[in-house]
Amino acid sequence: MSVELEKNGDIAILRLNRPEALNALSFQILEEIGSAIDDVARMSDVRALLVTGAGDKAFCAGADIKELRNRSLIAQKRGAELGQTVFAKLDALPIASVALVNGYAFGGGAELALACTFRLASQAAIFGLPEIKLGLIPGYGGTQRLPRLIGEGRALEIIMTGRNVNAEEAERIGLVNAVVEGDLMEAGIAFAHRFTRYSLPALEFARCAVQRAHELPLAEGLRVEADLSTLAYQTKDAEEGMAAFEEKRKPEFRDE
């Protein structure tokens, strides 16, 4: 299988398994990724998703260029829409996702990492959106997610030059949350466990509020925050959390 899905306790792990092709994305693999994300959404006992690539060279080296040539205008547009739709499923997941970038993350691979909630990188990680070198531009969300993450000026420079970004720079500019020195999978599981112990409804409300900040003027965003904050107060987990604080004990959240 080119896309594998497994569980480690309360964490799902999605692994691209084409190391001989540097885990490159074909349209078939994009569809398999989408199906795997749908499967994760149906798992009631999973609290985070880790996304990584097999092997020690690449997270994902991007699209399969051979598939992109000699296609009609409609087919090209549908291909871009497929990638965008699949990666947008990560935004719609009720749980957070963490990209574990263990090597090359180019083109669609970088865009897959950008679509995740968080990103951890090995010291060997290298990011890039090199489409400009082919007379193209990113089509799976890179032009939209990168500036939201690191700012318009830096994003334009990376996209318009097609240059690579190593792990050290990626951490410095906020492209990744951390660079890991040891086992990346172990670090990813530990990172996820920093938030999986909290109430899933509250975590989802928080993600939704922050995501809307990119879309709305401040006044409207504040209204969304007030609405979501009010909803959070109505959950049983909120009552448990406040009671535990007053009673000086650890809360026992039930995702209710």
CATH of the domain at 214: 1.10.12
> Is the per-residue pLDDT at 73 higher than 90?
no
3-state secondary structure of 95: coil
Question: What are 114-167's pLDDT values in tens digits?
Answer: 999 999 999 999 999 999 999 999 999 999 999 999 999 999 999 999 999 999
Which residues carry out catalysis? Answer: 111, 131
For residue 76, is it within any domain? yes
67 confidence band (pLDDT: 50, 70, 90)? confident
Same domain, 186 and 70: yes
Same domain, 153 and 187: yes
Determine the Cα–Cα distance for residues 36 and 245; give it in Å rounded to an integer.
38
Residue 232's domain comprises: 200-246
Domains in the chain: how many in total?
2
CATH of the domain at 48: 3.90.226.10
Determine the Cα–Cα distance for residues 192 and 81; give it in Å rounded to an integer.
30
**Paired residues of 63 in beta bridges:** 25
Same domain, 136 and 223: no
Q: What is the mean pLDDT of residues 88-106?
A: 96
Residues 6+ apart with CB under 8 A from 78: none
**Paired residues of 11 in beta bridges:** 8, 48
- Average pLDDT of every residue of the chain: 94
Question: What are 16-47's pLDDT values in tens digits?
Answer: 999 999 999 999 999 999 999 999 999 989 99
Question: What are 185-208's pLDDT values in tens digits?
Answer: 999 999 999 999 999 999 999 999
